[in-house]
Structure 1
Amino acid sequence: MSTAKPPTMQRSRGQLATAYAPHSLFTFEGGSGACFALPSPGNRTTGDDLRPNTQRMIAEQIQEYFDAWALRATRGTNLRHAVPLNLAVDGRVVSDDAVRVRLGELAFQVPDHVGYVPFPLSFVCTRCDLHRHSDRVERLAEDASRFRSACPSGSENCANDWQQLDVVFAHWSGNVEAITPNYRSWHDGAVREMGRCTSCGSDRFFLRRPPGRLGNWEFQCAVCRLPRQMQQRDLLTLEELGPLIPQNQALPAEINMEPVSYRASAAYYVHGDRLLVFDQERYIQLLGSAHTAPLSAFLSSEYGYPPTQIDDVQKEQLLRAAGQSAQWDNYRHMRDFIPQLETMGAPPEVIAAQRATIARTEAEWNATVFAGHHQAADGIERACRERSEYVRRFDPVRMALEHKTLTEERLHGRQMPDGKDVSVDLTILDPFLFPDDVQGDERSRMLDQVRIRRDLLGMAEIRLVRDVRVCEYTFAYTRTSSSPTVTREKAGLAEMPVRLRLFDKVQVGDRAQHPVLCLVQSNEGFYVRLDESCVLAWLEANRIRPAPAEAGVRLGGRLIEEFARMQADEDVRFTRFLDEYRRERSIPRFAYPYVYTLLHTMAHHLLGISASMSGLDLGSFGEHIFVPDLAFLVYRRGMTMDLGNLSSMWRDRGDPAYGNEVLDRMVDPASLRCGSESVCNHRGGACPDCLLIPETACLTRNELLSRSVLIGRGSPRWDALAEPLTGYYEIARLRRSAGASGST
């Protein structure tokens, strides 16, 4: 299908990375002229848009994607043979029976162009249904000039009006072919091709296309009228499984290709992922395998684990080495002066203020200078040691470091080039987020109402972030299914492997590399952090007890410890496709999956309301979860100019009577009612009528969602206890009514 230098075209970058990505099938405007997309060597590399560390993280995610895909695709459930790794993933990433994606073989490109060639090269006469085809693009013009000579009525009487077929043969191996009467078979230990009529030897066939299913189409010999079933066997799969056919160990359904319209989604599924892009790498670098000790020390300090007992001599040495000699001398003076104050009979409030100053100083040193000397719990050390085996999007250690970087880089203290703050607390606002007609005391009343609703939702913090930087990328494709396995009626209950294939290599400089099409974007988003005491009360109300820890240890540290233990149990661990959480009533009430479901469900709740009010569709949003910090980020996705959809929505929906309609709608119990109530409850409280969003926008493909975690009246379908939950919003309301503030 390729030519030495195929023509290229331009579309939007988002389209070129998805709908027109390499190996897709498409038509030009008007629906005529089917083509096959090819990788373009004309795309420029990402350059400074992606730092080397970010490129490395993308390569690691791609490696993980292939590993998880291979593990699931090679299960071979109800097959009569083991699944060759080469049928599960691209052979170019298979080395010594293992999956290895090499960073040096990837080219990170900005999708500005895509190459294309006409495909399929299969044609039917509009008058008599005679079928003709060409093997190569280079010979198409020459072959087409001879089509009329095969006409049964003679070349002089031929209508010479040929229609390009809009149907192709596709297979889950990733191969796609034009519809032809040729047929492959396994014979005498080799693949044999049969292209002529078995009765008269003619190579001319009519293609009969009765209305209805594509499976009813058939070829008919133009000379003797002998019918031939329209079928083909996939070459790659036939070569792999052909030797098993005589022993009846391979099913024909595994090898047969399927007729598919090239306009159907089954003809092509693009695969990719996304990650947050940061300028700083200070914390992210701790994820390297050689940094286990500093990583453990950082997490211990961040989540309040007590420091190792060190004496004054060690403290003084560490502080003087850190250039804080004066602070140490002042600390010693204040501490030694307390007994004198007590002897002098100083007022208790003076002594208390002195002790508070000392405590603040010690807390600051524990989080900074003494951080490397914290006593790490076994669970924290285990998580740092074993995290290379975790799925990155569910890894709480990675979440903690990303959240720390996000906090320092985006949430506090930075400004945009136009002078606006990068992040704004929505209970305070800046001049750009107040409605134009709200002034003076009305602004104060409006913010008071926002705080009330924030507390009623159990939030500790909600912010607008004006610069959420994300890299979305695509790197591979599949056909007939977007999942690692596929089932067909003729194969019974057998799960056949769907092959994940990299984009073909293009010439980049002096070497050939697989393109990774990257879209680096900056858009607005909402950051939400839940109130830890409210989350703890909710867990307790539902008899969910996190891992035990010493007093003062934050919930995030306990969740990291629990996750490390869960990953050792095959029945409850988090895998890439969350197969364990697709089974009904199978998971005990652990804190980590419940906190993840709480954050994820609230993110979808906010996302759905934002979509309805901002004019953006659900598929144009993205999300990121930070479980240890009880936080999430939802943001606009898109390569077009961000016109302030979310900030404009917040400004336009503000009102002194109820604060802001976005939060007011979230507080309203009606916002989580579902039109498919009974069906939705049976599914565990998540369906397209309420919480589900397009799978391409969701981190988990719409798993780990349930309205029950917010409003009760049921439980997630994987919950083994199967008892109705107390909703998080109910706990937040009770705390609010009892006078407890949701802020921290």
Structure 2
Amino acid sequence: MAKAPVMQRSRGQIATAYAPHSLFTFEGGRGACMALPTGHNMRQVLSNVTAHTIGEQIQEYFSTWADRATKGDNLSHDVPLELAVDKRVIVDGAVRVAIGEFEFQIPDRAEYKPFPLAFVCGRCGLYRNSRDANTLQRDAERFRSACPDGGARNCADDWEQLDVVLAHWSGAVEPITPEYRHWHSGRQEIQSINNCSNCGNDRFKLRRPPGPLGNWYFECVSCQQPRQILQRDRETLKTLGPLIDAKLAIWAEVNMEPVSYRASAAYYVHGDRLLVFQDDKYLAQLNDRQTADLERIISTQYGYPIASLDDTDRERILREAGRSKEWESYEQLRSLLRTVEMMPGVTAEMLEAQRGQIAKQDEEWAGSIFKSYAQAPESITAACRGRRDYVRKHDPLRMAVEHLTLQEEKLRGGEMADGKAVSVDVAILDAFLRPDGLSEADLRRQETASRQRLAGLGIAEMRLLRGIGICEYSFAYSRTSASPFVMRDKAGDAEMPVRLRLFDKVEVSDDSKHPILCSVQQNEGFYVKLDEDLVRQWLDANNIPLPPAASSVRLGGQLIENFHALQSDRNTRFTRFLDEYRREGALPRQAYPYVYTLLHTMAHHLIDTCSSMSGLDLGSFGEHLFVPDLSFLVYRRGTTMDLGNLSSMWRDQGDPDVGNHVLEHMLNPSSLRCGSESVCNHRGGACPDCVLIPENACVTRNELLSRSVLVGRGKPRFDSTQGHLVGYLDIAAGRP
């Protein structure tokens, strides 16, 4: 068995375009191949908190994919779980991803093999194939002997590798072939038919008339009888064959379809990204065992009245209740934990077990003897304890603790190793952001002009951040669709499940593991925080209600309450794929979806502006939203050395008269116009001509976006309320 050849590309390419099981050609368009996973990549070393977070994200990704794919709307049968997700994540009938079976790899190289091994003679159209790359050379030597024009002696020997494959939403991909799989009802098994049904000949010519791939067909060499290209996916046929016999499944669910291997439908890579933090002090509160601590943090952060109990109070209350031994045992556990933490060689599992016992006692007390002291209001308690059902990427409580962590690690300043400030106010510039040759008077003018334009945009704070840690990874793939279901004309309005498949295992240190192609980068970005008073005015101007709250409660707390209420309704909840917000005119105005859409649209507006002024393409950016804090982060994505594109752009676009041309452009009304203006407004105010960016750069794959939240002239497509919105920029300009 020959070893698979290895190629090197950029890390971004290896993790996406050349990820395992993708189809590609080398430069010049010749030599079609399939990428393979490899065990030769170096291991990516990640912190425990980052590795744990990735594991949780992959588990949720598969679980939510399975939930959506198995809905099987308008099918006549239940969708088996194994047709929705890889069998290797199914344990006892449930989706369970074992992170111990994964290997984090730096995507530096990929193995590959020739694929498809199907060939056509350029002169006569004779079809030949090979079953394996290792036997291809030997098989190819026999291709000429099958020539219908006189055998090997007269063969033109002009073989062309086919550039079309057969793909299925199960994830399978095969060369085009005249072979035909058939379900034998009597034997309850799959049979293959390789010969002409008329004369029994096993040689065929491929005919490729102009037009769609569906017009291609095979023709028997002997009797010229045509044979349509029709192949059934083996795994799906095996599963649904009995249901087809019972007339509960249809052939359209099983049939493969011809696809050019250059088309995106042949392969979709799946992955995610997250911010990399150094400290998990706040992130640890997201653990189910520390819900009580999370409730206190959120209540304090968003201005809820809270009765705080220190250790003296808790000891007093327990002793007065005759539970002194419980407190003494609790103190012993904490003392033991402090001792164990100082011991060398202690594993993280041991520490976690010890902390779990302490957290369990805290939670028991919080729900019983300390309950009357109401450390957090009921609404926040309900939100914190209901978050088990929240999708991670849309969880406002996770956003809140991530923002707290970002605040401590980045926003509050500090210096990098090269002496540059970690965080710089875009109006009060450091030496690396100031335009060359400006006097102090010009710098003061520039600062004043920048602040005026920030106020005109309704931005309370905007900072350039350096050294933002970003982790991007890919771990699975699908075919024919990037979403959990696909619809085909021959199946009517039935939704067929698209299977999400893991990268195949590779040998790693005498073990077999699924690779996760993982890139960690340090890049620049812009942090933006909107003005809370203006956001409240904007919500009020558009008659968007907020949950009632005390005057001390910040808007973020009310948004968390509203999100929890939305999650209890199937029509308004935030699912991973946001299906509920794709329906036109289906939902009343609610605060959380609208603030989310406002922040998200403003982030895309900034990305579009930065792209046009920095020379970076739209796909070179990423975004992260912190909805309860009315903030977002726009950052440069890239696995190459950070060349300071964003800081250079800000310095080059500085101007004493306008502050900065980035802000000036964002304020210009023409920057939020669209080439498809009236049509775009009618469809929700978001299209490729205006605020959409490449889906792999967007946190929601371009959902919950609308220019109308900024400039009016319409409303988001999910809004069922009559009338246009008042734009946020109009509120900021003082013209409601």
- Structure 1 length as normaliser, TM-score? 0.89
Q: Give the corresponding residue for 1:44.
A: 42
Q: Which TM-score applies when normalising by structure 2?
A: 0.90
Mapped to 2, the partners of 1:453 and 1:156 lie a distance apart of 80
Q: Which residue of 1 aligns with 2:57?
A: 61
More displaced, 506-515 or 472-481? 506-515
- 2:216 matched to 1:217? yes
Aligned to 2:401: 401
Query: What SS is found at the alignment partner of 2:604?
Result: helix
Q: Which amino acid aligns with 1:483?
A: S
Contact 1:305 1:374 in 2 (8 A): no
Give CA deviations for 1:340-383 in whole Å, capped at 9, x if unaligned.
xxxxxxxxxxxxxxxxxxxxxxxxxxxxxxxxx87312121112
TM-superposed deviation, 1:624: 0.4
* 2:588 matches 1:588: yes
Residue 514 of structure 1 deviates from its aligned partner by 0.9
Aligned AA (2:235): L
Q: Per-residue deviation at 1:437?
A: 2.5
Match of 1:718 in 2: 718
Aligned residue for 1:171? 168
What CA distance in whole angstroms lies between the structure 2 residues aligned with 1:699 and 1:552?
A: 32
Q: For 2:128, what is the secondary structure of its paired residue?
A: strand
Superposition deviation, residue 578 in structure 1: 0.6
Cα deviation digits, residues 693-717 of structure 1 (max 9, x gap) = 1111111111111111111222111
Q: Is the CA contact (8 Å cut-off) linking 1:715 and 1:722 kept in structure 2?
A: no
> What residue number does 1:509 align with?
509
1:311 Cα deviation after fit = 11
Aligned position for 2:25: 27
Report the counterpart of residue 274 of structure 2 in structure 1. Answer: 275
* Residue matched to 1:244: 243
TM superposition shift of 1:545: 2.2
> How far does residue 722 in structure 1 lie from its aligned partner after superposition?
2.8
1:410 aligns with 2:410: yes
CA distance in structure 1 between the aligned counterparts of 2:506 and 2:552, rounded to whole angstroms = 55
Contact 1:300 1:374 in 2 (8 A): no
Moved more, 306-315 or 274-283: 306-315
Residues 427 and 446 in structure 2, CA contact (< 8 A), matched pair in contact too: no
Whether the aligned pair in 1 keeps the contact of 2:2 and 2:134 (CA below 8 Å) is no
Deviation at 1:667, TM superposition (A): 1.5
Counterpart-to-counterpart distance in 2, 1:704 and 1:595 = 10
Report the residue type matching 2:303 in the other structure.
Answer: G
Counterpart secondary structure, 1:448 = helix
Offset at 1:642? Answer: 1.7
Aligned position for 1:668? 668
* 1:704 aligned partner: 704
**CA apart distance, 1:225:** 2.0
Q: CA deviation at 1:226?
A: 2.0
Q: CA deviation at 1:316?
A: 13
CA apart distance, 1:150: 1.1
- Out of 146, 156, 159, the residue aligned to residue 159 of structure 1 is 156
Task: Report the CA distance between 1:672 and its aligned residue.
Answer: 0.9
Taking the aligned partners of 1:311 and 1:181, their CA distance within structure 2 comes to: 77
Aligned to 1:120: 116
Q: Is the 8 A contact 2:306 2:377 kept in 1?
A: no
Shift of 1:587: 1.7
Cα deviation, 1:630-672, whole Å, max 9, x if unaligned, reads 1000011111222111111111111111111111111222211
Letter aligned with residue 405 of structure 1: T
**1:684-699 alignment runs, 5 A limit:** 684-699=684-699
Residues 217/312 of structure 1: CA separation in 2 closer, same or farther (3 Å cut): closer
* CA distance, structure 2, for counterparts of residue 709 and residue 409 of structure 1: 31
Cα gap change, 1:312/1:124 in structure 2, threshold over 3 Å: closer, same or farther? closer
Q: Where do residues 94-493 of structure 1 align in structure 2 (5 Å cutoff)?
A: 94-152=90-148, 153-187=150-184, 188=186, 189-308=188-307, 314=313, 375-493=375-493
Q: Does the 8 A contact of 2:583 with 2:718 survive in 1?
A: yes
Deviations 1:603-631 (A, max 9, x none): 11111111111111111110000011110
**Are residue 646 (structure 1) and residue 646 (structure 2) matched?**
yes
Between the aligned partners of 2:206 and 2:561, the Cα distance in structure 1 is: 64
| Matching residue of 1:92 | 88
1:572-597, Cα deviation, whole Å (9 max, x unpaired): 11001111111122222211111111
Q: C-alpha offsets along residues 503-537 of structure 1, whole Å, 9 cap, x if unaligned? A: 00111112211111111111111100111111111
What amino acid is the match of 1:205?
Answer: F
**Offset of 1:314 from its aligned partner?**
4.9
Contact 1:379 1:565 in 2 (8 A): no
- When structure 1 is superposed on structure 2, of 219-228 and 278-287 the one drifting more is 219-228
Query: Any gaps of 5 or more consecutive residues in structure 2?
Result: 318-372
Using the TM superposition, give the Cα deviation of residue 313 of structure 1 relative to its aligned residue in structure 2, in angstroms: 8.2
Distance 1:230 1:730 in 2: 59
Residues in 1 aligned to 2:306 and 2:61: alpha-carbon distance in whole angstroms: 38
- What residue number does 1:522 align with? 522
Maintained 8 Å contact 1:379/1:562: no
Distance 1:514 1:383, change over 3 A: same
| Cα RMSD for the two superposed structures | 2.0
1:475 match: secondary structure: strand
**2:461 partner letter:** E
Question: What amino acid is the match of 1:429?
Answer: L
Letter in 2 for 1:9: M
Could you give the per-residue CA deviations for residues 8-44 of structure 1, whole angstroms, max 9, x where no partner exists? 1111110000000000011111111111111000011
Distance (whole Å) between structure 1 residues aligned to residue 709 and residue 254 of structure 2? 45
Q: Does the 8 Å contact 1:90/1:501 carry over to 2?
A: yes
- SS in structure 2 at match of 1:734: coil
Give yes or no for the alignment of 1:73 onto 2:72.
no
Change beyond 3 A, Cα 1:460–1:63: same
Shift of 1:114: 0.6
In the TM superposition, what is the alpha-carbon distance from 1:310 to its structure 2 partner? 7.1
More divergent stretch after superposition (638-647 vs 496-505):
638-647
Query: Once the 2 structures are TM-superposed, how far is the Cα of residue 551 of structure 1 from its aligned partner?
Result: 2.2
* Higher radius of gyration, 1 or 2: 1
Determine the C-alpha separation between the residues in 2 that align with 1:312 and 1:273: 41
Q: Which secondary structure state, in structure 1, belongs to the residue aligned with residue 697 of structure 2?
A: coil
1:578 equivalenced with 2:575 (yes/no): no
- Counterpart in 1 of 2:495? 495
The correspondence of residues 604-643 of structure 1 with structure 2, limited to 5 A, is 604-643=604-643
**1:84-143 CA distances to partner (integer Å, 9 max, x unpaired)?**
111111111112221111111111111111111111111111111111111112211111
Please give the per-residue CA displacement for 1:542-594, whole angstroms capped at 9, x wherever unaligned.
11222112221111111111111111111111001111111122222211111
> Separation in 1 of the partners of 2:462 and 2:523?
17
Instruction: Look up the SS of the partner of 1:450 in the other structure.
Output: helix
Code of the residue aligned with 1:133 in structure 2: it is N
Inter-CA distance 91–315: structure 2 relative to 1 (3 Å threshold):
closer
Q: Secondary structure at the match of 1:522?
A: strand
In structure 2, do the counterparts of structure 1 residues 727 and 158 end up closer, same or farther at CA, with 3 Å as the change threshold? Answer: same
Deviation at 1:248, TM superposition (A): 2.1
| CA-to-aligned-CA distance 1:414-454 (integer Å, 9 cap, x gap) | 21111000110112111111110221111101100111111
Shift of 1:315: 11
| Contact 1:63–1:100 (8 Å) recurs in 2 | yes
User: How far off its partner does 1:312 sit?
Assistant: 14
Shift of 1:4: 6.2
Query: Deviation per CA, 1:53-78, whole angstroms, max 9, x where unpaired?
Result: 21111111111111111111111112
Report SS of the residue matched to 1:46: coil
Compare 716-725 and 475-484 and name the one that shifted more.
716-725
Confirm or deny: 8 A CA contact 1:301 1:374 kept in the other structure.
Answer: no
What is aligned with 1:339?
none
Which amino acid counterpart does residue 33 of structure 1 have in structure 2? G
Partners of 1:619 and 1:413 in 2: CA distance: 29
Unaligned runs of 5+ in 1: 319-372, 738-744
